[in-house]
Each structure stands twice: as C-alpha cells, then as structure tokens.
Structure 1
Amino acid sequence: MEQQIIRPGYLTAHQTARILGVTLTGLRSIVHRGQLARSGGTPRQPWYAAADVAALAAKRGQRSAA
C-alpha cells in the first residue's frame, strides 16, 4: 500500500469514520448522500477537510441529543 503525506487540516477516511462514529461503509454512504465531500487524496484513499468533518460531527451530535 502506498503511503501519502496528508496536509494539515485534512483527515483520512479511517480518521473521519472514527470521528463520526461510523464504519467505512457508513462513511461512503454519507459521502454518496452529499452530506460530506472529499477534499483530496486519491479515489482509493480520499481525504476530508477537518473543518467539514467537525461541522458534520457537531450536527450529528445535536440530532442525537434531541
């Protein structure tokens, strides 16, 4: 597997899934539904903007608290 250096402010798919509390399959569903957009990387190893992930995590946290 080829390692990529990720720029500051971006997260890997594994990191993003962990933060959102979903599996990689669940993350793909979130991306497919348009709730989160890829911000770089490769098709097999996408990156996500940390600010976008944090905003989505906060939104999901509010929904589950209500």
Structure 2
Amino acid sequence: MEYLLPPIGTLTTSMAAMSAGVQPATIRDWVRRGILTRCGGSPKRPLYRVADVEAARYAAKPTRNGQRGVNAA
C-alpha cells in the first residue's frame, strides 16, 4: 500500500522523483550509488528526507567509463 500522506518532511519514491524532476528509477539509482539515503519506511516503500532529495538533485554525480554523454579525453 502506498502512503496517502507520508510523515512531515519525508517523501515517497514517486514524490521524491517529482520533486527532483527525474524518474523514480533515477531515485532508486541514486540510492544504489550512495548519492541518496533512505530515512525510513519499508524495503518496498522507502521514505526520503526532503533536504536529502534536494541535496542529491544538485550533487555532482560520479560517471562510469563508456557512459553516454561523457566526453572521452
């Protein structure tokens, strides 16, 4: 079951994605890559702090070799 209203100051994955202007898969990728951390919820319905989502949105993202959009030197 999805949260109707998550606790104040937190966002669901869908809400975090809307807030950051990205897809929900990007939020999950940021968590996997250590750019964003969960602050609660359950394994299938995580919650994120609003401030953490905003920080992740503007954080420098690590790149991988061969990734599209990266200029090769």
TM-score (norm 1): 0.74
Q: Which has the higher contact order (CA 8 A, sep 6+)?
A: 1
Higher Cα Rg: structure 1 or 2? Answer: 2
Q: Percent identity?
A: 38
| Structure 2 match to 1:41 | 41
Report how many aligned residue pairs link the two structures.
60
What corresponds to 1:16 in structure 2?
A: 16
Q: Quote the residue 2:67 is aligned against.
A: none
Which runs of 4 or more aligned residues in structure 1 lie more than 6 Å from their structure 2 counterparts after TM superposition? none
Q: TM-score, normalised by structure 2?
A: 0.68
Q: Which consecutive unaligned segments of at least 5 residues does structure 1 have?
A: 61-66
Give the 3-state SS of the residue equivalent to 1:30 in structure 2. helix
CA RMSD after TM alignment: 1.9
CA distance in 2, matches of 1:26, 1:54: 14
The residue type paired with residue 16 of structure 2 is: T
Deviation at 1:9, TM superposition (A): 0.8
Q: Per-residue CA shift, 1:9-56, capped at 9, x if unaligned?
A: 111110101112221111111110000000000111100011111222
